[in-house]
Every structure is written in C-alpha cells, then in structure tokens.
Amino acid sequence: MKKFFYVLLIPVLLLASGCNQKKIDRLQAQNDSLRAVGGDKDSNISEFVATFNEIEANLDSIKQVEQVIDKSAKAGEVKGSRKEQIKSDIKYIYDLQQKNRKMVAELSAKLSKSGKHAAQLQKMIDNLNASISEKDVQIAQMTDELGKLNIQVKDLNVKVTDLNSNVDNLSADNAKKQADIDAKTIALNTAYYVIGTNRELKDKKIITGEGGFIGIGRTKDIMADLNMADFTKVDITTANEIPIMKKKINIITSHPANSYRLEGDKTVDKLVIVDAAAFWSLSKVLVISAR
C-alpha cells in the first residue's frame, strides 16, 4: 500500500525531469537573442546576461532538488529525518522561485535602458517568465502529491495558493499585454475616408474655403478637431477598393499616384488600391471631393 502512495509522486517529478527538450529550445531562443546583441559591449547587456544565467542556474537547482525528493519518496516510508529533509527541500524550491520572479521583474524594469536591443531582450524575458510559470505548476502538482504521502510542510497550503495565484496573475498579465498589442495593431491598420461635394466637405469643416484639407498637414496623424463620425473607417489590410460612383472627383489628401487607380467609363466607379502600404504611407485619411 505504501508503494502505491510513493508511485503517485513519480509522474509529477518525471514531468519536471523530462523537460530537457524544452530547456534546449529555451536556451536556443535565448542564444539567438544574445547573438543579435553580441556585438554590444554595453554594461546593461552584460547585466542581462549575468541575470539570465543565474535564473537558469536556479531552475537547474530546482530540478536537481526535485530529483532528490523523488529518490527519497521512493526509498521507503517517509518519516523522521527524511520527512524533515523533504520539507526543507520544498521550502528551498519555493524560495528560489521567489528569487527568480524578483530578478525577472528587475530585468523588465531595466529593459527601457537596453535601447535598440529591447525586442530581443523582451523575448528572452518572456521565455524566462514562461519557464518560471511552468515550474510553478509543477511545484504545485508535486506538493499536492506529497500531501497524499502525509507530508505536511509548514504554511504549505498558503505557499501552494501563492504559486497558483502567481500562475493566474501571469496569465492575466499576458492576456492584458496581448490585448494591448491587438489594440495597437488595430489602430495601426485603421484608416478613414470621406467622399462629398466641396460644399459638404466645407460644412463639415473637413476642407478649407480654398479646398485644402484641414485635418492633416504633412504628417500622418489625424488632428483632434476632425469629427471622425463624418468618415468611414476601414482596415487597410483588407480594404482594397473604395466605392465612389461619381462623375468627377478630386483627391484632396496625398497618396502616391502609383499606389492606386481609378476605374469606370463615364463615371468614376471606384478607387482600387494596388499598394496599400504606399497608398496610406502619407496619410491615414482619404478625402475625395466629388460632383
């Protein structure tokens, strides 16, 4: 019966010891990022590398301690000094994880000083966060299995709750970051157009009395005094045509001539965008005066 309980722990610890390929992949990703910044002698980069190495060493230490716990659990009835050693080992693992999280937080705070290498270093930080989160889950599973062996660690329930909370917080954090990225991507891919007679455009304060565009000068930014409710919003990655259906038109905003064409016989039926990146490069707003 005791052997049955000891076996309960084995799958969890094998999960931790069987992640060599994941570690290789993680180290390869970090190596690629470091290769990209390898020519930089800046002290900030050296600090990043040193901290990355320390966190990796901590994760290796945790793995080794997990293997020791596995060996102790399989050796026989867990009691006396062996039981106390397992308690001590679990506390050591927990403390190392806390230290890892603190160091990653410090790396993130220093990221703004890394200049042109911020993207590569952020990728490495994301990989470390993923490794730490994965380890949190493994530790939580391990402590749960140890509970089945009647090994109670002081304040263990609180620590397991903390670990699970950290996993939840990281997941929420990642979801928020992804939402921010999605929102920024949508904003970058959003453009606006309006078609109207000169009178209509003037009345809406889109063009001046001389026919110039009020909202944009030589920049790509939309001015705050434009009422965007007067415009049609489009996604520049999918909007390949702008329907017009007017006899004559005048494109008031600036768009490279080779980035679009007008189609229609006796009327201008539509504006076809042949190069979206070029067409919207000078202005994210298209204003067409028509009659």
Residue carrying the six token digits 């290796």:
60
Report DSSP state, residue 58: H
In the beta sheet, which residues pair with residue 287?
194
The parts of the chain modelled with pLDDT lower than 70 are 1-45, 70-81, 111-119, 145-168, 171, 209-224
The per-residue pLDDT for 132 is 82
Enumerate residues 6+ apart whose C-beta is below 8 A from 253: 213, 216, 282, 283, 285, 286, 287
Residue carrying the six token digits 């992804």:
178
Contacts from 140-143 at CB under 8 Å and sequence distance 24+?
Answer: 140/164, 140/167, 141/12, 141/15, 142/9, 142/12, 142/13, 142/16, 142/66, 142/69, 142/90, 143/90
Q: How far is CA 99 from CA 51, 54, 55, 106, in A?
A: 11, 10, 8, 11
DSSP three-state, residue 200: helix
Q: What is the spatial distance between Cα 143 and Cα 155, in angstroms, rounded to a whole number?
A: 12
The per-residue pLDDT for 134 is 82
The per-residue pLDDT for 288 is 93
Beta strands in the chain (DSSP E): 190-196, 232-235, 241-246, 249-251, 260-263, 268-273, 285-290
The per-residue pLDDT for 80 is 62
Q: Which residues of 20-52 are buried (b: 16+ CB within 10 A; e: fewer)?
A: eeeeeebeeebeebbeebeeeeeebbeebbebb
The per-residue pLDDT for 290 is 92
The per-residue pLDDT for 274 is 95
The per-residue pLDDT for 8 is 36
Residue carrying the six token digits 């202005």:
283
The per-residue pLDDT for 218 is 36
The per-residue pLDDT for 86 is 74
